Chains A and B, each alone.
Chain A
Amino acid sequence: MPGPVIIARALTKSYGEFRAVDGIDFEVATGESFGLLGPNGAGKSTTMRMLSAVSTRTSGELSILGLDPDQHGPEIRARLGVVPQSDNLDGELRVRDNLIVYGRYFGIPRRRVAEKADELLAFAQLEDKRDARVESLSGGMKRRLTIARGLVNEPEILLLDEPTTGLDPQARHLLWDRLFRLKEQGTTLVLTTHYMDEAEQLCDRLIVVDKGAIMAEGSPASLIRDHSSREVLEVRFGSDRNALVAERIADVGDRVEVLPDRVLVYAGDGEAALREVIGRGLDPITSLVRRSSLEDVFLRLTGRSLVE
C-alpha cells in the first residue's frame, strides 16, 4: 500500500479575523480519488489553493508529495496539475498555444510540448478547435481545455476546483468520463464540488466540509449508511401545510426533515412509509421514493442544503 501523497494536520487559513479553513485533518493516498464536498463559502477553494502550493497556510501542517509547500512550492508544483474554479486561460492565445505556453512553464522542450499539446487536444476532444480563439469556445470546451492544460506536465496529483460547475448535463458527463480515465491510469485526483452526484460518481472517499471544518469523512456509500437511511420518501402537501403535516408523520420513519417546498421522511423502506402516510388519511399532492444521497447526509450534518 503506497503512503499518502497529501497529509494535512490542523490545517488553518485565516484572513484577518475570518478563519476560512479552521483546523482540518485529512490524508490522500496515492491513486485515490478524494473529494471535498460542501456549499459555497465552506473553505474548499482556500483549501485547494493551499494544496496547490501557492497559498501559504496560517498554521498547522501540510505535506504534499512528502514536501512542505511553504519551503518547496516550485518543486511541488512541478508535479501537480491544477484546474482552478475559473478558467484562467489566456484569451489572447489560440487553443493549442495555450497548452504549449503552459507546458513551457514546466521546462518541457518545444518539440515535446508540441507533441504533448496534440495528444491533449485529442484527450479533451478539441482537435478541431486547435487554432480557434479561446473566446469562441463554449463553457464545456473551455473547461476541457483547462483540464488538458493541467495535464501537460503529466502530474502525479490533479487538483480540480468545481470541475463541472456551470456546465450542461452532456458536458458534465463528458468531463466525468475523461476524469474517470485519468483515475484508471493511476492519477491521484483531488476535487471539490457542491454537487452530490459528482462526488458519488468520482470520489472513492470524501470529506464533507462546512464553515471551514470537516463534518464527516468516508466513502459516499459509508457516509450515506452512517448519516442517513437507505431510502427517502419525499411528499408535498403545499407550502402552507408542509410543516403542519410533518408533525403528524414525525414517527413514520427514522426522521423527518421539513423543507420549504416538501417534507422528507427518512426510512429503510420508502414505499412502506408512503403507505403509512396515506393510511393516516393524509393525501400528498405528489410523492416520490428515492435512494438516500449525499445531499441528505449534508442536510443531516448541517441542517442546510448544499445548493441554496
Chain B
Amino acid sequence: MTSTAASARPRRYGALYVTEHRLRLVRSWRWTFIATTLGNPIIYLYSLGVGLATLVHTAIPIGDGREVSYLVYVAPALIASAAMTAAVEESMFPYLEGFKWNETFFAINSAPITGRQIVDGTTIWIAIRVVPTTIVYLVIAALFGAVTSAGAGLVVVIATAAGLAMGLLVSSYTATIREDRGQMAIIMRIIVMPLFLFSGTFFPLESLPIGLQWIGWVSPLWHGTQLSRVVAFGLAEPIWLTVAHVGYLAALAALGLWRTRAVVTARLDR
C-alpha cells in the first residue's frame, strides 16, 4: 500500500478515532457516570428548592419589573456549574493518563495520529460527556418546577460551551504536568469551587463588594450562567453584555484549544 492511501483515513478521521477510544473507556466507569449525572442535580435541586427555598421567600427581580422564584433563578446556574465541573474533570484525567499514567498519548501518536488530533478528539469527547449531564440536569430541574420556558433548552448548548471554554483552559495546563503532586485537587478546590461560589450562581454578582466582582467577570462560568438566564427566563441585560458573554466564551475556548494543541504537540516530540 502506498503511504498516501494508508494514511488517508487517519488523516481525515483521526480525531474521531480518539473520541471512539474514550467512548470505549466509559464502559469501565459507566455506573459512576450514571450515579453522578442523576445524583448531582437531584441533591442540589432538592436542597435548594425544598431546603433553602424555605428561607428565601423573596422573588428575585430579573429586570423590567419582572421577578422569578429563587429556584428558577439558580437552576440555569446550577446546570452551567455541573457542565463546568464535568468538563474540568475530563480536561484533567485524560491528559494525565495520556502523558503520565499509561503514556497512551505516545502510543496513539505512534499510529498516524497527530497531537492536534488527540486534543481535538478529546475535546469532542468532553462535549459528548457534558451534553447528557446538562440534559439530565435540565429535565430534573423541569420536574422540580424550575424551568419556565421552552427557551431553557438552549441552556444545554450554552452550558456545554461554557464548560468547554473552562475545560480547554484547564487542559492547556494539565497537558504540561510532568509530576502528579496533587495539582488536580488544587484546581478543583482553588479554582473550580470559588468560581462556583462567586460567579453569580446563588446571588447576583452585583451583591458582591466591587473588589470581588472581578472574579465573575473573568469567570467563564459567570458568562455562561448569565447567558443561560437570558435564554431560560429572559433575564434583562444590555445587548452588548450578551454579545460580550458569547465573545468571551468563544475567545477563551479558542485560546485554550490553541494552547493545548501546542503543548501536546511539543510534548509528543521527545
A residues contacting B by CB (< 8 A) are: 49, 52, 54-56, 65, 67, 72-80, 82, 84, 86, 88-93, 97, 100-102, 104-107, 149, 153
Contacts and interface: CB of A to CB of B under 8 A. Distances in A.
Contacts of B113: 74, 105
B3 A76 contact: yes
A105 B269 contact: no
Interface in B60-81: none
Given A74-B10, A105-B111, A107-B9, A90 B3 contact: no
Contacts of B207: none
B6 A101 contact: no
B112 A55 contact: no
A104 B17 contact: yes
B36 interface: no
A90 B113 CA distance: 16
A100 B20 CA distance: 11
Interface in B214-270: 268-270
A105 B104 contact: no
11 contacts: A55-B270, A56-B269, A65-B3, A74-B114, A77-B7, A77-B112, A78-B111, A90-B104, A92-B25, A93-B28, A105-B113
Contacts of A92: 25, 28, 97, 102
A54 B268 contact: yes
B21 interface: yes
Contact of B24 (A65, A82, A97): A97
Contact of B112 (A56, A84, A106): A106
Interface residues of B, number: 34
A102 B25 contact: no
Contacts of B6: 75, 78-79, 106, 153
Contacts of A72: 3
Interface of B: 1, 3-4, 6-11, 13-14, 17, 20-21, 24-25, 28, 97, 101-104, 106-114, 268-270
Contacts of A82: 110
A90 B102 contact: yes
A43 to B, nearest CB: 13
A76 B109 CA distance: 12
B269 A55 contact: yes
Contacts of B7: 74-75, 77-78, 107
Contacts of B107: 84, 88-90, 102, 149
Given A49-B270, A88-B104, A79 B110 contact: no
A75 B269 contact: no
B222 to A, nearest CB: 35
B40 to A, nearest CB: 23
B17 A105 contact: yes
Top 9 nearest A-B pairs (CB, nearest first) are A107-B9, A105-B111, A75-B3, A78-B6, A74-B112, A88-B103, A78-B7, A82-B110, A78-B112
A105 B14 contact: yes
Contacts of A106: 6, 9-10, 111-112
A16 to B, nearest CB: 14
A107 B3 contact: no
A211 to B, nearest CB: 19
B3 A78 contact: yes
A91 B28 CA distance: 11
A170 B216 CA distance: 63
Q: Chain A contact residues: over half helix, strand or loop, or mixed? A: loop
B13 A77 contact: no
Contacts of A153: 6, 111
Given A73-B114, A97-B24, A79 B3 contact: yes
Given A105-B113, A107-B9, A153-B6, 18 more contacts: A54-B270, A56-B269, A73-B112, A74-B112, A74-B114, A75-B112, A78-B112, A84-B106, A86-B103, A88-B106, A90-B107, A102-B107, A105-B17, A106-B10, A107-B7, A107-B8, A107-B13, A107-B17
A15 B9 CA distance: 34
Which of B101, B111, B269 counts the most chain A CB atoms within 10 A? B111
A97 to B, nearest CB: 6
Contact of B108 (A75, A78, A105, A107): A105
B102 A77 contact: no
Of A54, A76, A84, the most chain B CB neighbours within 10 A belong to: A54
A84 B108 CA distance: 12
B73 to A, nearest CB: 40
B24 A93 contact: yes
A88 B100 CA distance: 10
For A49, A104, A105, the residue with the greatest tally of chain B CB atoms inside 10 Å of its CB is A105
A80 B6 CA distance: 11
Contacts of A100: 24
A5 to B, nearest CB: 12
Contacts of B109: 54
A72 B114 CA distance: 11
A72 to B, nearest CB: 7
A65 B8 CA distance: 17
Contacts of B111: 77-78, 102, 105-106, 153
A124 to B, nearest CB: 16
Contacts of B268: 54
